[in-house]
């Protein structure tokens, strides 16, 4: 039969919050309780009789609690098939009674790792009995309902009430799927911990809490976000974030993160910066960043690393933009910015912490370390006769930070504290430079005495030749071309400075 009445429940959980109303409802339905340890005490304190697991198995909890439920009396009651005459006969022969409901969660392995627990503590949080009970009950979903997380308690309670302690096959199959989601995620976390040292070439990455998006990159594509977005941001205003919004938000927070210790502002469009600036105040930084491209900023994603005050908000409010990200907002500024109901306003609660990135391609997955290297003064190797001035060095490092976060091939033109223009995603570096020059001129920005940053080396001296014609005085690039000398010689002959970093920053 599809419908099964719950008569006996095995309950053994680490987290007790939310469990009490379920215990009361099960008792109301006449369900018999089997439990162990702290959960047994919890149920008994609510006034209900409990059969200890030890009574079923004939064994006490042994090896410091490592072995409690691993016994045929327990697993037989879960796994035997009620519609299989052979199983039913054996269950009767060995006096194994059926268990119809299993409520079990897992030791907090991930939480222990995150808190920096000792290896001994972490290993002891690898659940054995619990995960075996979950898998066994989920496998036998034809007869048994498995509840594998406190996140499922509310759904279980509604099910018990609506069906008077009975379950349908569809109910049990759904909870089985949820159970395998729990166990697979748990095992992936354990593998990840061990593989920090072993570096086994196996890709396992598990994210729970998926959120269905309105659509993917385009309306005909489905989209889902997996991760804890609420842990990163508090949304203070606006519509739901879309797939493209999330991609741009990621680009914005990664770029603004580069300017730690400074007041920075970035404007992103289709993952590339169309404006970046640093200044003494958010208002000044915003206005400087907006100067670089007053057209592309329309409908863009804005981000800063400082609290937004009313003065800054008043300037930003003149622009139509999709999203604003900041660590905090003055109340008056927030009130003004919320005047547009669809404008998305995010308060960033924590920094991004990942060290890897991956994407699907060619029926597989490619993974790499994140580019976490930020070019610093110590990386710079002067290769021209004249060394850059202190002001030029500041401008070069500023431009390099932006270059790192811009689609290749890219060229960034800047002065200290302000991006003047960018050439992005071009098939040749010369095209990227020409694009950057044209953009700067179209917005009336002076390139004389500016600097140029490139994400990769110059295979020919053509880029420095073109840059020199515009009055650009200094260049930062990784170096490494067999024709580096041609570019260096041109710079020397035209009073330009050039530094190599030794780090390429391709971004595809």
Active-site positions?
A: 139, 270
State the Rg of the chain over Cα: 31
Pairing of β 497-500 and β 381-382: antiparallel
The answer to whether 311 and 265 are in contact (CB under 8 A) is no
Residue 390: in which H helix or E strand, if any? helix 390-404
Structure tokens at 7: 């008569």
Half-sphere exposure (Cβ direction) of 162: Cα atoms closer than 13 Å: 9
The answer to whether 414 and 439 are in contact (CB under 8 A) is no
The answer to whether 459 and 435 are in contact (CB under 8 A) is no
The answer to whether 406 and 414 are in contact (CB under 8 A) is no
Contacts 24+ apart (CB under 8 A), 310-319: 310/336, 311/281, 311/283, 312/281, 312/282, 312/283, 312/286, 313/337, 315/283, 315/286, 315/287, 316/286, 319/290
Report the 3 state secondary structure along 5-60.
Answer: ECCEEEEECCCCCCCHHHHHHHHHCCCEEEECHHHHHHHHHCCCCEEEHHHHHCCC
CA-to-CA separations, 83 to 80, 87, 89, 98, in angstroms, rounded? 9, 8, 11, 12
Structure tokens at 271: 């993952």
Task: Return all residues near 253 (Cβ < 8 A) that are at least 6 apart.
Answer: 303, 325, 348, 352
Whole-number Å distance between alpha carbons of 131 and 357: 29
Residue 500: strand pairing partners: 381, 477
Q: Where are the beta strands (DSSP E) in 209-263?
A: 210-212, 224-226, 233-237
Characterise 344 by phi-psi region: left (phi > 0), alpha (psi -120 to 50), beta (else). Answer: beta
């Amino acid at each position: 039969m599809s419908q099964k009445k719950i008569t006996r429940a095995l309950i053994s959980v680490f987290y007790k919050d939310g469990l009490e109303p379920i215990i009361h409802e099960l008792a109301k339905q006449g369900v018999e309780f089997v439990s162990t340890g702290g959960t047994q005490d919890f149920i008994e304190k609510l006034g209900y009789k409990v059969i200890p697991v030890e009574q079923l198995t004939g064994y006490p909890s042994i090896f410091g609690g490592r072995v409690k439920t691993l016994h045929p009396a327990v697993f037989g009651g879960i796994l035997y098939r009620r519609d299989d005459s052979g199983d039913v006969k054996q269950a009767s022969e060995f006096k194994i009674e059926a268990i119809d409901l299993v409520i079990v969660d897992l030791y907090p392995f991930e939480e222990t790792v995150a808190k920096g627990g000792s290896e001994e503590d972490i290993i002891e949080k690898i659940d054995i009995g619990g995960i075996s009970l979950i898998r066994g009950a989920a496998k036998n979903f034809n007869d048994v309902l498995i509840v594998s997380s406190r996140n499922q308690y509310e759904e279980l309670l509604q099910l018990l009430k609506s069906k008077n302690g009975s379950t349908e096959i569809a109910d049990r199959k759904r909870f089985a799927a949820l159970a395998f989601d729990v166990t697979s995620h748990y095992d992936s976390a354990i593998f990840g911990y061990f593989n920090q040292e072993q570096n086994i070439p196996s890709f396992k990455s598990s994210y729970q809490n998926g959120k269905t998006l309105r659509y993917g990159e385009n309306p005909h594509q489905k989209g889902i976000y997996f991760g804890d977005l609420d842990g990163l941001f508090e949304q203070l205003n606006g519509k739901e974030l879309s797939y493209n919004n999330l991609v741009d938000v990621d680009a914005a927070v990664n770029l603004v993160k580069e300017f730690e210790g400074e007041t920075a502002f970035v404007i992103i469009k289709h993952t590339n910066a169309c404006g970046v600036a640093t200044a003494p105040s958010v208002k000044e930084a915003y206005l400087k960043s907006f100067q670089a491209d007053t057209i592309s900023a329309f409908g863009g994603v804005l981000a800063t690393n400082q609290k937004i005050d009313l003065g800054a908000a008043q300037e930003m409010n003149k622009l139509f933009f999709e999203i604003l990200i900041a660590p905090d907002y003055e109340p008056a500024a927030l009130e003004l910015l919320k005047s547009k109901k669809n404008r998305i306003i995010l308060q960033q609660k924590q920094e991004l912490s990942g060290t890897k990135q991956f994407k699907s391609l060619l029926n597989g997955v490619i993974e790499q370390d994140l580019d976490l290297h930020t070019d610093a003064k110590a990386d710079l190797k002067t290769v021209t006769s004249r060394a850059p001035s202190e002001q030029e060095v500041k401008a070069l490092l500023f431009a390099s930070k932006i270059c790192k976060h811009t689609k290749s091939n890219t060229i960034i033109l800047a002065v200290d504290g302000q991006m003047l223009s960018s050439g992005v995603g071009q098939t040749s570096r010369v095209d990227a430079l020409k694009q950057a020059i044209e953009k700067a001129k179209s917005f009336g920005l002076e390139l004389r005495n500016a600097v140029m940053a490139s994400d990769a080396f110059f295979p020919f001296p053509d880029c420095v030749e073109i840059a020199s014609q515009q009055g650009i005085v200094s260049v930062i690039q990784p170096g490494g071309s067999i024709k580096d000398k041609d570019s260096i010689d041109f710079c020397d002959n035209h009073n330009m400075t050039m530094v190599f970093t030794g780090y390429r920053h391709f971004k595809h």
